[in-house]
Amino acid sequence: MNKNILDSLDLSDKQSFADGLKALIEQTYVVENEYKALKTSYDSLMLMINEIIEILPSAIWVLDENQNLVVKNKLASDELFRQIDLNKEHYELEFLNNFYQIKSIKYADKHLIMATNITKEKRDERLVSMGQVAANLAHEIRNPIGSVSLLAGVLFSKVELKNKHIVMQMQDAIKRVERIIESTLLFTRGFKLNKYEFNLQEFENECQNVFNTYNNSDEIILSECTFAPFTISADKSLISLVLSNLIYNAIDACEENGTIKVKGEIINNIYKISVFDSGEKIANLTNLFEAFNTTKLKGNGLGLALCKQICNAHDANIYYCNEPKSFCVEFKLDI
């Protein structure tokens, strides 16, 4: 301010001016502090919003009125965004073997796009549908197969010795179908555990019998079948079914020649049963234990899925190893 103007003011005016200036400075500090508080609150709010956006199970993009990207989270890939039709409000999109539920919302000058991965839900829906069809087919096939099995037994006793091997092959094929039917009905209808105490060493003879019954090649051998003695409480028939399925898989993996080994051992507080085979290693482990998923020409893809169900019911763990190639079942023991 011009010094002459200040000099022209009397003492009271100068005091009033000084008081006004002081009040203005104090008010400036108040406004500055309020601004800092508002900025801190805004930053905190934006941080919370960003954290919420990041933890949401959907890919999110926010566009401005010119379709420029404003915000996106970690799930929002550019490849997926390029597949989205911004003119559709609500639809399903299939991309890279995954299914997405797309929602497009416009509010004020912003455009929100959400893509939720529903692959698991679609897969579960498909499995339920396939399970219902499989259960109906298994139920319809069960009675005719029983009749064929009975007639094959009668035929075996009547044919000449040189033709008995043909009937035996028929009976083996019938047993395979019966196992598929049994697995399908157990998987689709469920099962109840009938637990009682037994010694795991009893599986030695059972596994030997399963191998001898199922194996048709002299070039596939069972080099070892040993179980460390230990008494557990479990459903023996269901555990036997798990081991049978793993042995069937091992024989199928060996095709015409190879070696299979079954071993049960106690390791720390775990009873581990391993079924080894010398066949080709499994290259694609994706959805290995999923129903109707199989890489074999034989079977319907329910064997491993059923094994997984039975192991889960026993609080046991089943998994696959490539080195050495084996399927393993682990029971927790209270020693």
Q: State the Cα–Cα distance between residues 149 and 263, nearest whole angstrom.
A: 33
- Say what the pLDDT of residue 335 is: 43
Q: Is the separation of the CB atoms in 201 and 262 below 8 Å? A: no
Residues in the chain: 335
**Beta-carbon neighbour count of residue 34 at 10 Å?**
10
Q: How far is CA 272 from CA 3, 203, 325, 334, in A?
A: 97, 13, 15, 14
Nearest CA among 215, 293, 294, 307 for reference residue 254: 215
Cis preceding-peptide flag for 57 (omega within 30 of 0): no
What's the CA gap between 325 and 320, in Å, rounded? 8
Tally of CB atoms within 10 A around 113: 20
Q: Which candidate, 318, 309, 314, 317, places its Cα nearest to that of 196?
A: 314
pLDDT recorded at residue 235 = 94
Span 266-321, pLDDT tens digits: 998 999 999 999 999 888 887 788 776 665 545 556 788 889 999 999 999 999 99
> Whole-structure pTM over 0.75, yes or no?
no
- DSSP character string of 10-55: -HHHHHHHHHHHHHHHHHHHHHHHHHHHHHHHHHHHHHHHHHHHHH
What pLDDT sits at residue 298? 55
Q: Which of 273, 282, 219, 227 has the alpha carbon at shortest distance from 251?
A: 219
Given this model, what pLDDT does residue 239 score? 95
Instruction: Specify the DSSP element, H or E, that contains 257.
Output: none
List the domain boundaries for the chain.
1-55, 57-117, 122-189, 196-332
CB neighbour list of residue 187: distance below 8 Å, 6 or more residues apart? 131, 134, 291, 302, 305, 306, 309
Task: Determine the pLDDT at residue 321.
Answer: 92
Query: Read out DSSP for 287-319?
Result: TTTSTT---SSSS-S-HHHHHHHHHHHTT-EEE
* Residues in the chain where the model's pLDDT stays below 50: 297, 335
Q: Using the structure block, give the residue that is written with the tokens 């001898």.
A: 212
pLDDT digits (tens, 9 = 90+) for 34-72: 888 888 887 787 677 777 777 888 999 989 988 898 888
Query: CATH code for 57-117?
Result: 3.40.1840
- CATH T-level fold of 196-332: Heat Shock Protein 90 (3.30.565)
Backbone angles phi, psi at 269, to 5 degrees: -105, 30
Q: How far is CA 159 from CA 151, 166, 216, in A?
A: 12, 10, 21
Residue 281 to residues 224, 253, 290, Cα–Cα distance (Å): 20, 9, 18
